Structure 1
Amino acid sequence: MNESKLRKELESRLQKSGRVFIYNREKENFRIENEETGKGIDVSLPGIVAKWHTQKEKAIDEVVYYVEEALQVMGKEQQVAGSEKKIYPVIRSTSFPTESDEGIKFMTDDHTAETRIYYALDLGNTYRLLDERLIEKEGLDPQEIREMARFNVRSLSTNMKKDTVAGNVFYFLNTNDGYDGSRILNEKFLQEQAAVIEGDMAVAVPHQDVLIIADIRNETGYDVLQQMTMSFFASGNVPITALSFIYEDGKLDPIFIMGKNRRVDQ
């Protein structure tokens, strides 16, 4: 599978009346757009090709599913008022766009040097990022949205799977509800984990559907964490960051693991 074959496969499976396909060779980006409204979805081809080599057709099936869901949502009007319990924060890379294709700024907050907070209205199988136009249209208070989103994320399950590698303990939160990475904003949850960590506490959000908490008890643990994070980052539908964070005194500080057990704080 290469990018050319993948693009043709996506065009075949997503072909519908009123849709146009735009390929940006320089950015290796494939866009599926509604011809009438100009709204659409951008898909990065290299990441899907890489996933195809390990997941085969499942990788393409997932892309087709998410694109169809997103395009369907774009064709409907969403209302935030009355749906406050469905608002959640979502974590994205700082390289993620801060405005929509129409130039409307998303509601965002700073998080770390590697990540930024966005806010989303949950729509079941997908969600819509809240932007300034929607907030102003409904006369919403941004601070109330922030508070409600934080409250809602604290209500989500924090059950984790545990694995021990080379004397280090790794916990994985992977419910696939779209907000696994958002649990990093649940401060009470992080504090509870910190209370039982015996070594250094590291946290990673390689993509939106996984949160890793590591109890690093020896130097080998950093190399293991780096390998895990890179693997998840490469396989996620919405990659966030391949860097991990040290959690200490309620703060998240990015670290760069150079290999051979060396760690460099950013």
Structure 2
Amino acid sequence: MELREFRKEIENKLQRDGWIFSYNHKEATLRIEDVTIKKGVTVSLKPLLAKWERNEFDSIDEVIRYVEVGLQSMKQQVILKGNEKKIFPVIRATSFPTETKEGQKLIYEVHTAETRVYYALDLGESYTLIDESLLADSDFTAAKLKEIALFNVRSLPQPLKEDVVAGNTFYFLRAKDGYDASRILDQSLLEKMASRIKGQLAVAIPHQDVLIFADIVNDSGYDVLAQVALQFFGQGRVPVTALPFLYENGELEPTFILAQRKPKN
């Protein structure tokens, strides 16, 4: 299916009174906006089309649900005070906007050369990013917001699935709660993974819904990690970065890996 046909399929399924569409040809993104609240949701179509082409036919239903829940949540009254346990950090690429469509500046800080940390209020099936106006209404400082968010992300479960390829061990964290990549901000988790590996610890956050740890013990491990990170990057609803990180001395350093070959096994 061509991208244009795929977009039309989604638009047809999202026809609602009061919803309008705008398409960005350069970015291949579709924005669906509710004219009554003048807010909307932007969907990246290429990753969804890739899922469709892999016969993951629920990709269209997934985006329909995502848009419906997102626009519905925007109609809710959003208050930080009293909802401290629902505040979490979210990881985004440095290309991610720094303000809302309405011109409100989002609260964020630099994480690495590839990533930023934004903050979100969880609304159940979705979340809203916290901007300066929302922060001002709460009487929180940006420092307090960060403290609350990092405390909450440390309380999340850390389910890991393990896979061994060419002697290298890969750990995949996918809790499906929207904050998988955010767990990279849990320093105690990074230290725990560093203590259990035999070689070089590498970390990848190709999109918001996965966190990958790799125990690299040979050159093939770097090749596998590069290929896995790139594959996941193309599949994610909210891509972050295809560049993995090396973790050394408590620091994350983005690293470019030029994969030379695909491992035989």
- Give deviations 1:189-222, integer Å, cap 9, x for gaps: 1101101111000000011111000000000000
Q: Aligned residue for 1:181?
A: 181
- 1:48 is displaced (CA, Å) by 1.9
- 1:242 is displaced (CA, Å) by 0.4
CA separation of 1:77 and 1:55: change in aligned 2, threshold 3 A: farther
Structure 1 stretches of at least 4 aligned residues deviating more than 3 Å after TM superposition: none
- 1:28 is displaced (CA, Å) by 2.4
Q: Aligned residue for 1:217?
A: 217
TM-score by length of 2: 0.95
Q: Aligned residue for 1:163?
A: 163
CA contact under 8 A between 2:93 and 2:116: conserved in structure 1? yes
CA contact under 8 A between 1:51 and 1:234: conserved in structure 2? no
- Give deviations 1:158-189, integer Å, cap 9, x for gaps: 12111110000111101111001011000011
CA contact under 8 A between 2:44 and 2:237: conserved in structure 1? no
1:143 is matched by which residue type in structure 2? A
Q: Aligned residue for 1:172?
A: 172
1:118 is matched by which residue type in structure 2? Y
In the TM superposition, 1:100-119 aligns within 5 A as: 100-119=100-119
Unpaired stretches in structure 2, ≥5 consecutive residues: none
In the TM superposition, 1:20-99 aligns within 5 A as: 20-99=20-99
- SS of 1:150's equivalent in the other structure is helix
- 1:110 is displaced (CA, Å) by 0.7
- 1:109 is displaced (CA, Å) by 1.0
Structure 1, 133-142 or 172-181: larger mean CA deviation: 133-142
Q: Does 1:227 align with 2:197?
A: no
- SS of 1:193's equivalent in the other structure is helix
- Give deviations 1:209-247, integer Å, cap 9, x for gaps: 110000000000000001111111111111111000000
1:247 is matched by which residue type in structure 2? Y
Please give the alpha-carbon distance, in whole angstroms, between the structure 2 residues aligned to 1:20 and 1:228: 37
CA contact under 8 A between 1:183 and 1:211: conserved in structure 2? yes
1:260 is matched by which residue type in structure 2? Q
- 1:128 is displaced (CA, Å) by 0.6
Count, aligned residues: 261
Q: Does 1:15 align with 2:15?
A: yes
CA contact under 8 A between 2:51 and 2:57: conserved in structure 1? no
Please give the alpha-carbon distance, in whole angstroms, between the structure 1 residues aligned to 2:158 and 2:249: 21
TM-score by length of 1: 0.95
- 1:123 is displaced (CA, Å) by 0.7
Structure 1, 148-157 or 40-49: larger mean CA deviation: 40-49
Structure 1, 146-155 or 27-36: larger mean CA deviation: 27-36
% identical aligned pairs: 51
Q: CA RMSD in A?
A: 1.2
